[in-house]
Amino acid sequence: MKSAYIHIPFCEHICHYCDFNKYFIQSQPVDEYLNSLEKEMINTVAKTGQPKLDTIFIGGGTPTSLSEAQLEKLMDIVHRVLKPSSPLPEFAVEANPDDLSAEKLKVLKDAGVNRLSFGVQTFEDDLLKKIGRVHKKKDVFTSFERARALGFENISLDLMFGLPGQTLEHLDQSLQTALSLNAEHYSVYSLIVEPKTVFYNLMQKGRLHLPAQDQEAEMYELVMRQMSDANIHQYEISNFAKPGLESKHNLTYWSNEDYFGFGAGAHGYINGVRTVNAGPVKHYIDLINEKGFPYRDTHEVTKEEQIEEELFLGLRKTAGVSKKRFFEKYGCSLDELFAHVLRGLSDKGLIHNTESSVSLTHNGKLLGNEVFGAFLGEL
């Protein structure tokens, strides 16, 4: 499987928790950025050959902060340069509930986009304001219904827990509301306070009041229980879907397979080489104009690193890591390479270690970082 990620680093506003590569769209050289994005794609295709893509994911930032004309230009670039099949198995775009007009939705639909990912975070209006979101609960319903009316049959809702002042009751209500929309997919992430965010600065000043760690664990338990009761199955630590509607693009990452990364700050992984693009928009554009590629860093991933990544990415999936597939990819036995690590994690009740696979137990999901860390540096 091959995938392409395309980064649009522009936003109408900056959320208090977000550490992704993003900039206020006002006064930004958006059209010049799209021209540079096209050049990066053309040069990459010339270098690697025309890819046969299975998935495209356009994320941000906020892709839908682009104007209708700019969205059309982006879609034209994607089709002319990457030449995706029609229909593409999965062509996904991230969207904000407050800037998704019927006109923009039609541009996406006409371009073959068949999956939308709505950044909802919570259905509590007061909490939305507290985390720096500008949409309201009603905007989600409006955009969701508008997308359904235009024929979008695969919609994902992104939610968060562990937010400042959030209670189990808040989360319970948000989950019930989200499930009432009968979306095909739900991503539910715990808040991680990252440097260079508003929340990080508040935390440094002692002004960010988050739920206690045990309460956050209860929240995650609630998420898993609610999704299970609604027959939305968990296929990854933070992701839940109706059968057959799992995110094909994200499964590319978790299965440690190749993907292109286009745009400012994007990461790529092709033929064993990991690339990181320059983040600042002007720096990205300048590198494209000067060198044809915007790489800030390239790294040839060693076999040992690939194996470690295979484990800590693959174990995020509820299906875990297939021992047969592991052997086919790396020519060695997972059981032999990590015998004492597997034994230790199994004794702690954090993994299921069967003849065919290694996967997280329920407690392993709650202590995922401990499991992933156990494999790092072992080789």
In this prediction, residues 232-256 reach a mean pLDDT of 97
In the numeric block, which tokens belong to residue 201?
A: 């600065």
Q: Is the pLDDT of residue 63 over 70?
A: yes
Kindly state the percentage of the chain with pLDDT values over 90: 84
**Which residues are CB-contacts of 328 (< 8 A; sequence separation ≥ 6)?**
none
What is the tens place of the pLDDT at every residue in 278-324?
A: 999 999 999 999 999 999 999 999 999 999 999 999 999 999 999 99
Q: Delimit the domains of the chain by residue range.
A: 3-253, 303-375
Q: Is the pLDDT of residue 72 over 80?
A: yes
Kindly state the percentage of the chain with pLDDT values over 70: 98
Helix (H, G, I), strand (E, B) or coil at 269: strand
Give the C-alpha separation, 323 to 325, whole Å: 6
Backbone angles phi, psi at 288, to 5 degrees: -60, -45
Q: What average pLDDT is seen over the chain?
A: 94
Instruction: Output the CA–CA distances (angstroms, integers) from residue 228 to 91, 153, 217, 234, 250, in the order listed.
Output: 27, 21, 17, 8, 21
Helix (H, G, I), strand (E, B) or coil at 247: coil
pTM given for the model: 0.95
Q: Is the pLDDT of residue 16 over 90?
A: no
Q: Is the pLDDT of residue 1 over 70?
A: no
In this prediction, residues 250-256 reach a mean pLDDT of 96
- Tell me the CATH architecture of domain 303-375: Orthogonal Bundle (1.10)
In the numeric block, which tokens belong to residue 361?
A: 């137990």
Q: Is the pLDDT of residue 65 over 80?
A: yes
Predicted pLDDT at 376: 87
In the numeric block, which tokens belong to residue 161?
A: 């827990």
Alpha helix locations (H) across 49-167? Answer: 68-77, 102-110, 125-130, 137-149
Q: Is the pLDDT of residue 21 over 80?
A: no
Q: Which residue has the tokens 């975070």?
A: 121
What is the tens place of the pLDDT at every residue in 167-207?
A: 999 999 999 999 999 999 999 999 888 888 778 788 888 88
List the end-to-end C-alpha distance of the chain, in Å, as a whole number: 27
Q: Is the pLDDT of residue 15 over 80?
A: no
Predicted pLDDT at 52: 95
- Read off the pLDDT band of 133 (50, 70, 90): confident
Q: Is the pLDDT of residue 19 over 70?
A: no
What is the tens place of the pLDDT at every residue in 322-371?
A: 999 999 999 999 999 999 999 999 999 999 999 999 999 999 999 999 99
Q: Does 303-375 match 3-253 at the fold level?
A: no
Lowest pLDDT segment from 67-71, 288-292, 337-341, 373-377: 373-377
- Taking 3-state DSSP, the helix, strand and coil percentages for the chain, each rounded to the nearest 5, stand at 45, 20, 35
Q: What angle do CA 300, 3, 87 make, to 5 degrees?
A: 165
Amino acid at 267: H
User: Is CATH 3.40.50.720 the classification given to domain 3-253?
Assistant: no
Q: Is the pLDDT of residue 14 over 80?
A: no
Give the C-alpha separation, 41 to 286, whole Å: 15
In this prediction, residues 43-65 reach a mean pLDDT of 95
What is the tens place of the pLDDT at every residue in 22-47?
A: 676 888 999 999 999 999 999 999 99
In the numeric block, which tokens belong to residue 306?
A: 């690939």
In this prediction, residues 86-96 reach a mean pLDDT of 95
Instruction: Output the CA–CA distances (angstroms, integers) from residue 62 to 52, 127, 207, 294, in the order listed.
Output: 26, 20, 28, 21
Predicted pLDDT at 287: 98
